[in-house]
């Protein structure tokens, strides 16, 4: 008898946890969506506040971190914050190609060239639509004085864009 009661209590507890996770995800998504609307309207402070609220609700939801990273790239003096948020987005979802691409941009702006190359390569590996990542890699290699690698990535970029 006691085992049946314990089993029902455990089942009920698991059920409540699963429901609350779904509710948190829905709330986090709603807040993220509101932030995205503000972002599109160029209301950046309001967008930032909504993205941060979304993260408070669900710290493992990648998109608000990604959105904050994009937002901070646009703002002077906030590139370090962009890098931190884009890295967190990737930590939450390692297959988020756009977060890898924008992390590469933030690292390029910060003159972290080797890290930028890795981020751009990852973005392109995840999603071939980021052919621009190949161009960015070529530019970095050219800047670093590695003409062979620059030529290689310019050629890869041209091959990829000719396919389209």
Residue of 125, 72, 117, 69 lying closest to 97 (CA atoms): 125
Residue of 55, 61, 72, 53 lying closest to 96 (CA atoms): 61
Better pLDDT: 39 or 22: 39
The SS3 call for residue 93 is coil
Counting DSSP H helices and E strands in the chain, the numbers are 8, 0
Better pLDDT: 29 or 121: 121
Distance CA 69, CA 111 (A): 17
pTM for the structure as a whole: 0.83
Rounded to an integer, the average pLDDT of 23-31 is 72
pLDDT, position 163: 83
Rounded to an integer, the average pLDDT of 38-66 is 95
Domains in the chain and their CATH numbers? 2-122 (1.25.40.10)
pLDDT, position 80: 97
Q: Give per-residue pLDDT as tens, 86-134.
A: 999 999 999 999 999 999 999 999 999 999 999 999 999 999 999 999 9
- Confidence bin at 5 (pLDDT 50/70/90): low
- Confidence bin at 43 (pLDDT 50/70/90): very high
pLDDT, position 23: 45
- Confidence bin at 3 (pLDDT 50/70/90): low
């Amino acid at each position: 008898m006691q085992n049946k009661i314990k089993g029902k209590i455990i089942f009920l507890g698991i059920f409540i946890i699963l429901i609350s996770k779904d509710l948190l995800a829905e709330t986090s998504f709603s807040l993220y969506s509101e932030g995205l609307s503000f972002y599109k309207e160029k209301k950046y402070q309001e967008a930032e506040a909504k993205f941060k609220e979304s993260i408070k609700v669900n710290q493992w939801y990648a998109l608000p971190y990604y959105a904050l990273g994009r937002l901070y790239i646009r703002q002077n003096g906030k590139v370090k914050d962009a890098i931190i948020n884009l890295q967190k987005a990737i930590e939450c979802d390692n297959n988020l190609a756009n977060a890898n691409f924008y992390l590469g941009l933030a690292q390029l702006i910060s003159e972290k060239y080797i890290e930028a190359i890795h981020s751009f390569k990852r973005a392109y590996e995840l999603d071939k639509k980021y052919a621009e990542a190949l161009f960015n890699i070529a530019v970095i290699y050219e800047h670093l004085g590695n003409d062979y690698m620059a030529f290689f990535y310019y050629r890869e970029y041209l091959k990829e864009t000719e396919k389209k």
